[in-house]
Amino acid sequence: MIDNYEITLKTNFSFNHIQSAVLLARNALQVEKNQNNNDDVVARIQYESYVTGALLCTVGYLEATINEFFSNIKDKNNKNGKRLKPKKIEMIDSMWKLGVPRTAKYSILDKYQIALTLADKKLFEKGNSPYQDVYLLIQVRNAITHYEPEWVTTESEFSEKITEQTLEKKLKNKFKLNPFANSPDPFFPDKCLSYDFIKWGIHSSLNLTKLFFEELELNYPISWLLKNETYNLDLE
């Protein structure tokens, strides 16, 4: 007779997201380095595919990290949960069970701010890095995910007729542009999607999550990845 038993598991996927983002970013860099050795059309498709994939994974990492924080905070085997005061743990756990900030109506960055508020910690300053940079990164992700084509005037003998896109105004001079993009191409999505853009986005995201856990005086969940020679998250 076989005894009854059960296996109960819960998977944290933030690790997968950030490792995927870094891997895709590295692939984009290799295409960029070999730019003169490849067919430009094929290389550009590969390059922008890698950057787009890395963008989606990076923002996925940001959301998975904060969702995992809320979901795991009361788990018995969660070391971080033991480092918060019991009243704060109960507050965070109770709000999560009530759906705050569990549903999609809460933005990713609002979830981080709510967690800091519940823990009675200092909030991120919205106008400064890394909050502002991550906010812009998420805006690019949203524009890609919910893409709406628009007419853009990129060249004209009359300068006042040239369109300066909203994302271009916000992101100008923050990173090097897509080397495969042509001069008349609009900033978004063509010139924006570059290796240097996603490198900036990954670093900004890692910086924000690291500062989040430091403010809470908790262990950084991916610290082992940052030190691991095989799975390190370094980008050139």
**pLDDT in the model for residue 80:** 67
- What whole-number distance in Å separates Cα of residue 155 and Cα of residue 185? 9
3-state secondary structure of 35: helix
Mean pLDDT for the chain?
93
Locate all alpha helices (DSSP H) within the chain, ordered by sequence: 14-33, 40-72, 86-97, 108-118, 131-145, 166-171, 195-215, 223-227
Query: What pTM was computed for the model?
Result: 0.94
How far apart, in Å, do the first and last CA atoms of the chain sit?
Answer: 58
**pLDDT in the model for residue 83:** 76
Q: Give residue 181's pLDDT band: very low, low, confident or very high (50, 70, 90).
A: very high
Taking 60 as the threshold, does the pLDDT of residue 1 lie above it? no
Taking 70 as the threshold, does the pLDDT of residue 150 lie above it? yes
134 Cβ contact partners less than 8 Å away, ≥ 6 residues apart: 62, 109, 204, 205, 208
Q: Which of 234, 231, 207, 196 lies closest to 16, judged by CA? A: 231
Q: Give residue 225's pLDDT band: very low, low, confident or very high (50, 70, 90).
A: confident
Q: Give residue 229's pLDDT band: very low, low, confident or very high (50, 70, 90).
A: confident
**pLDDT in the model for residue 84:** 85
Q: Which of 44, 52, 46, 54 lies closest to 24, judged by CA? A: 54
Tens-digit pLDDT profile for residues 3-47:
788 888 889 999 999 999 999 999 999 999 998 776 789 999 999
Tens-digit pLDDT profile for residues 201-222:
999 999 999 999 999 999 999 9
Taking 90 as the threshold, does the pLDDT of residue 78 lie above it? no
**Lookup result for tokens 């059309």:** 41
Are 22 and 195 a contacting pair, CB within 8 Å? Answer: no
Taking 70 as the threshold, does the pLDDT of residue 151 lie above it? yes
Are 189 and 205 a contacting pair, CB within 8 Å? Answer: no
- What whole-number distance in Å separates Cα of residue 91 and Cα of residue 81? 12
Q: Give residue 77's pLDDT band: very low, low, confident or very high (50, 70, 90).
A: low
85 Cβ contact partners less than 8 Å away, ≥ 6 residues apart: none
**Lookup result for tokens 């009359």:** 158
